Amino acid sequence: MLMFKDKVVIVTGGANGIGRCITEEFRKQGAIVYVIDKQHGEHFVGDISRKEVLEDFASNVLSKHVKVDVIVNNALPLMKGIDECSYEEFQYALSVGVTAPFYLVKLFMPHLSEGASIINISSSRDRMSQPQTESYTAAKGGIAALTHALAVSLSGRARVNSISPGWIDTAYNVYEGPDATQQPVGRVGNPMDIAHMVLFLCSDKAGFITGENICIDGGMTKQMIYHGDCGWKLEHV
């Protein structure tokens, strides 16, 4: 039996990587999936930082369907750090990563089906950072916070959850040595690790879950790291 037969699913940034995997898995389960991505392909092509593009995309979907069952806000914001990121680039990252998910939900809100589900793809960078990642980290922190706000505002109308991936190799490369063994689970993640959770959260099995953020990072953010402990070594300051 197909879990999402004839359900209408929206995926932003669905042309590649995690978004493409999510799209494919929903289609395998019978869903009708509409993708918007700035990369050219057999989907709606457009830059979701632009208000009119989001409105055109929503109108296109709603011209074919009365109701929408699932929205997956997955599009990837720009990653630049404070040394090089301009004001305009920082605003662009927030537009793609926070404003667009907010506005897309707003556009589809009157058309959400009973039991609708919204999934926001955040990042483990919403709670930890590397240097020079401010634009991406701010956007991912924003969408994580937007998730619980929407969950409360849409109470009784839709469940809203977010997922924070860690290191996900979108080319499905298999790593050996320290890259793998540093992860408590012993491997680097792949897009299927995220897609499985997305489909679960959108299913009836997750009917009592809303407003949550689920970090899928192989345990990396739970691991204390100190110089000289368990083989960890700081080589420069």
Examine residue 234 and state whether it is found in any structural domain, yes or no. no
Q: Please give the pLDDT value at position 231.
A: 78
Q: Please give the pLDDT value at position 180.
A: 95
Examine residue 2 and state whether it is found in any structural domain, yes or no. no
For 180, left (φ over 0), alpha (ψ -120 to 50), or beta? alpha
34 is catalytic: no
Report the C-alpha gap between 141 and 22 in whole angstroms: 22
The alpha carbon dihedral of 48, 49, 52, 54 has a sign of positive
Residues 34, 87, 136, 175: which is the catalytic one? Answer: 136
Q: How many C-alpha atoms does 114 have within 13 Å on its Cβ side?
A: 0
Q: Please give the pLDDT value at position 227.
A: 85
Q: Please give the pLDDT value at position 194.
A: 98
104 in helix, strand or coil?
A: helix
Q: Please give the pLDDT value at position 204.
A: 96
Residue ranges making up the domain that contains 145: 8-222
Q: Please give the pLDDT value at position 224.
A: 85
Examine residue 59 and state whether it is found in any structural domain, yes or no. yes
Dihedral angle of Cα 119, 54, 34, 218, to the nearest 10 degrees = -30
pLDDT, block means (10 residues), the chain with 237 residues:
97 98 98 98 97 98 98 96 98 98 98 98 94 96 98 98 97 94 95 98 98 97 85 76
Examine residue 18 and state whether it is found in any structural domain, yes or no. yes
Report the C-alpha gap between 187 and 51 in whole angstroms: 40
Examine residue 235 and state whether it is found in any structural domain, yes or no. no
Q: Please give the pLDDT value at position 228.
A: 81
Examine residue 58 and state whether it is found in any structural domain, yes or no. yes
Q: Please give the pLDDT value at position 237.
A: 58
Count of domains for the chain: 1
Q: What is the reported pTM?
A: 0.95
Examine residue 231 and state whether it is found in any structural domain, yes or no. no
Examine residue 237 and state whether it is found in any structural domain, yes or no. no
Residues 216 and 165 sit within 8 Å (Cβ to Cβ): yes
Q: Please give the pLDDT value at position 110.
A: 98
> What CATH number does residue 145 fall under?
3.40.50.720
